[in-house]
Structure 1
Amino acid sequence: MNTFYHSTRGNSETVTSKQAILTGIAPDGGLFVSDQLGDAKLDLAQVASQTYHETAAQVLSALLDDYQKDEIESCVAGAYGDNFDTSAVTPVSALGDDWLLELYHGPTCAFKDVALQMLPRLMSCARKGDGRNVMIVTATSGDTGKAALAGFADIEGCGVTVFYPDGKVSDIQRLQMATQEGSNVAVCAIRGTFDDAQTEVKHIFANQELAQRLAERGTMLSSANSINVGRLVPQVTYYFDAYAQLVRNGSLSVGDAVDFCVPTGNFGDVLAGYYAKRLGLPVGKLIVASNTNKVLTDFLETGTYDRRRDFVKTISPSMDILVSSNLERMLYYLTDGDCERVSSFMRDLAERGFYTLPGALLAKLRETFDCGFATDDETRATIRSAWKQHHVLIDPHTAVAKTVLDRKEHGGNQRVCLSTASPYKFSADVLSALGASVDGLDGFACMDELQRLTGIAAPTQLSTLRSKDVLHKDVVDRDQMPDFVESSCKRVFA
């Protein structure tokens, strides 16, 4: 089978998966999709009997089939080794009557590691013989940035530039990025929101004059956000592996349906669950859990996606997003590949600030997706109850999802809540939710107190940040981001 990718906004030009991964975003501003999604199915009985690594190789081979078998096996072995603190990679554990899919056992303690330990390896394979240097440019609401920095640091022929919203990530998240070592890395805060950063990054990719200047120096730009298909595809694996773990522990029989509740901002993580469903996983519902920035909840309830609202800073900052870029891919599949219709929706969002699905499309979307949102107070209450009732410590993003899941009527399926980050990335908010005072305490003092209170040790990759030097102190306005990227390219690829 030959799988080709094209833009969500036009299908006249196709590329291989290697080309799509190198490019990141389509030239017309759309996202790369494949019309062959779902043609290949994974054998559930086989998945239930194999390791995470074996399932990852199957998923990647199904969706990125221009990679050779030995390339895939090498990428999987390199991505999921001693850099994860468990051989299970993404273990499943109990939380009351439901399950947690623990996605935070990688080097930066967040779910982005699962994809961003893989993407640099996929990209290195893709650029063999290409001759060009690749500068990764990405916007982050907190976790993607550090995971991208950790994945791409000192990778030959690659550089990485990360933008994050100044003052709108946790202390620990900021230090993870600001202390990053590596001769090929650049980190910069912007005065604005994540949506400002993400929108400007898209403009940077569409800037033909900048692309030409960089091309003359043998450099191209690509993305590490989930707009890059190479970021999205590896995330499909942990849905299948979670299912396999539940079969092996006797909670499921092969073929039983499972519901997944996913804390969601940019729609990439939950979209990976939809991809898994298309590949044969018996998914009942994909529940999209939002915080107070509930643009996705409103969309799934009304059919209108409306970004014209106030941005709210919450205790789950990685979900503080008003423009969910990966939703564009879902619109493509929802409309049965109607590029013109997708383009119209995206044009309305850019020019008018909103678009509305017809009732029939909304009903079709709701067949797979459910939704809900949680306020900060509700999130804190869930952190507190998870600890007091079950002795399980969860971070604010996971708590958003658990809050939403707890409100849903239990339809009989096993239910899995995606746990996307270590609670120690958000020590102050978790500590406060448990009833302790955080007055006058910095992030590390809160970390120490949370360890003392719970008896659960903080991950060393977080606790040792306090002794690292801050290496990246730049702060720019949004309109200065293109210049920062260009100067980073000149420095890294001098």
Structure 2
Amino acid sequence: MHEVYESTRNRDRKITSKQAIFEGISPDGGLYVWPELAQVQLDLTTICKQSYQENAVYILHHLLPDFTKEELEQCVANAYGNTFSSPDITPLRKVGDVYVLELFHGPTSAFKDVALTLLPQLMSVALRSAHQKALILTATSGDTGKAALAGFQDVKDTGIVVFYPDHKVSQVQYRQMVTQRGKNVKVYGVKGNFDDAQSKVKELFLDPDLREVAAKYHVRLTSANSINIGRLVPQIVYYFEAYKQLVNQGVIQLGDKISYSVPTGNFGDVLAGYYGYLMGLPVEKFYVASNANHVLTDFLTTGIYDRNREFIQTISPSMDILISSNLERLLYYVSNCDADFVKGCMDELAQTGKYQIPADLLKKIQSLFDCGYIDDVQTKAVIGKTYQETNEILDPHSAIGYEIGKAAKERPMVTLATASPYKFAQDVLDAIGVKEADPMQAMKKLEDYAHEKTPKGLAELNDLPILHKDVISIDDMKQDVANYIEELFHD
């Protein structure tokens, strides 16, 4: 057995990658990690010669060792066969003097699609091996919800429940979720913000009453957030893919270092890049780009993580996060896999809302990670200026990554474009000086300025019926999940 994964908070319990995928989170509250990750060194020459799909199989074969190559090939074929509008999956485009990696050509027009078309395939294989069923519980700040719903819709032996913060996602994100069809999907608005919902979901995974209800029906509670290793590892592929495209375009020589700017709130997307770095991706710097909720900027500058601050609702809602779950995995690796240290930090965060890391550890992190943030006013200015200068339209998340990358001294710089501008058409139009009150009309109007037409999945939203109308309190989440398990999995 390939029992290579363990918890960030306890090194004693070893499990396989299939177990890590269907469990999602460790019973001690930690996240699953592979301590020997840096011993996996990928061959860049091979990567530069292969297609995206071939690279996905090659990279995942190293990280999920108890999946057979045939299983992975089938999973990748199902995920990327005909679901992306670009044959490159994640094409790279030069904008000004920065390279923009477009991650939004999937079915829901967000970067989450790259992983959430693949995770359901990996999950199905893992569940089959264990003769289990699964209920996916996911909190979303906007994009994960729809991508997970689309990925898991009507997948055998699984159900999915998504919680989004009511009135704190964009109109388009809201309509994407509440119009979702499928016999095994449930969507709830919750009264609170994303952090409230995510903290409760983490509690539910470990709740003995809920686990008992699930066990009665042979159901595992698991996650589609990037706390699930099966959601995180597919994202590593596009970091190598960007590198491959720069080599093949003659911008760099094999072995040259490049830098990445990543708009992030939960630290999952940039962590996937760090995993790539550990496995041989030549990286000079990662820039962690934040919005007005700049808890990560403050941490990377001072070594103090402090979520005791005002939660600010912004025009980049997917980054409106004050508890960056995946930072826990970074702390684990930079502390030489010191699970006791990580557990101490996480306990302190739970009890006081903050923790501080030692100066030497901060220095180690800062040698590879830099950071920056801009607020809504600046974000709109970046969208407007970029359009004027380059004729390119950026969404409010991608614009943040673009600006932080553009301001950095390192070149070549790859900045990650995480969503289609059509998902945030009103704010994008506003930024280029055009007003439109109706979100659906705004998408039509944006077609006059953007290179591509409105993606099909977004264009049809106006005509779809709203199927999920429930808005509940955080305290109701447990009972609603219990009820749904009984409704969905009873014989």
**Distance in 1 between residues matched to 2:50 and 2:435, nearest whole Å:** 46
Which of residues 456, 459, 472 is equivalent to 1:460? 456
Q: Deviations over 1:31-54 (max 9, x none)?
A: 000112021211111111111011
**Distance in 2 between residues matched to 1:188 and 1:67, nearest whole Å:** 34
What displacement does 1:123 show?
Answer: 0.6
**Distance in 2 between residues matched to 1:434 and 1:492, nearest whole Å:** 47
C-alpha spacing 1:327/1:70, structure 2 compared with 1 (3 Å)? same
What displacement does 1:181 show?
Answer: 0.3
**Distance in 1 between residues matched to 2:165 and 2:130, nearest whole Å:** 34
1:91-490, aligned counterparts within 5 Å? 91-408=91-408, 410-411=409-410, 413-438=411-436, 441-454=437-450, 456-490=452-486
CA contact (8 A) 1:149 1:177 kept: yes
Q: What SS does structure 2 have at the residue aligned with 1:164?
A: strand
Q: Deviations over 1:338-371 (max 9, x none)?
A: 1111010001101011000110000000111100
**Distance in 2 between residues matched to 1:250 and 1:366, nearest whole Å:** 30
Number of equivalent positions: 490
What letter is aligned with 2:469?
K
CA contact (8 A) 2:261 2:416 kept: yes
Q: Deviations over 1:120-171 (max 9, x none)?
A: 0001111114232200000000000000000000000001000000000000
**Distance in 1 between residues matched to 2:2 and 2:245, nearest whole Å:** 31
Give unpaired runs (5+ residues) of structure 1.
none
What letter is aligned with 1:58?
Y
| Residue matched to 2:488 | 492
The TM-score normalised by the length of structure 1 is 0.98
What displacement does 1:3 show?
Answer: 5.5
What displacement does 1:253 show?
Answer: 0.5
CA contact (8 A) 1:8 1:33 kept: yes
Q: Which runs of 4+ in 1 moved over 2 A?
A: 129-132, 452-456
**Distance in 2 between residues matched to 1:95 and 1:116, nearest whole Å:** 27
**Distance in 2 between residues matched to 1:6 and 1:212, nearest whole Å:** 24
Q: What SS does structure 1 have at the residue aligned with 2:128?
A: coil
CA contact (8 A) 1:328 1:342 kept: yes
What displacement does 1:2 show?
Answer: 3.9
**Distance in 2 between residues matched to 1:228 and 1:471, nearest whole Å:** 27
Greater displacement, 422-431 / 33-42: 33-42
CA contact (8 A) 2:118 2:234 kept: yes
**Distance in 1 between residues matched to 2:484 and 2:109, nearest whole Å:** 27
CA contact (8 A) 2:426 2:435 kept: no
The TM-score normalised by the length of structure 2 is 0.98
**Distance in 2 between residues matched to 1:485 and 1:457, nearest whole Å:** 38
CA contact (8 A) 2:101 2:414 kept: yes
Q: What SS does structure 2 have at the residue aligned with 1:203?
A: helix
**Distance in 2 between residues matched to 1:18 and 1:99, nearest whole Å:** 35
**Distance in 2 between residues matched to 1:219 and 1:211, nearest whole Å:** 9
- 1:50 maps onto 2:50 in alignment: yes
What displacement does 1:456 show?
Answer: 3.8
| Residue matched to 2:70 | 70
What displacement does 1:406 show?
Answer: 2.3
What displacement does 1:454 show?
Answer: 4.3
CA contact (8 A) 1:266 1:326 kept: yes
**Distance in 2 between residues matched to 1:58 and 1:149, nearest whole Å:** 27
What letter is aligned with 2:290?
S
What letter is aligned with 2:60?
L
Q: CA RMSD in A?
A: 1.1
Give unpaired runs (5+ residues) of structure 2.
none
C-alpha spacing 1:432/1:390, structure 2 compared with 1 (3 Å)? same
**Distance in 2 between residues matched to 1:135 and 1:327, nearest whole Å:** 25
**Distance in 2 between residues matched to 1:483 and 1:361, nearest whole Å:** 42
CA contact (8 A) 1:3 1:63 kept: no
**Distance in 1 between residues matched to 2:3 and 2:211, nearest whole Å:** 27
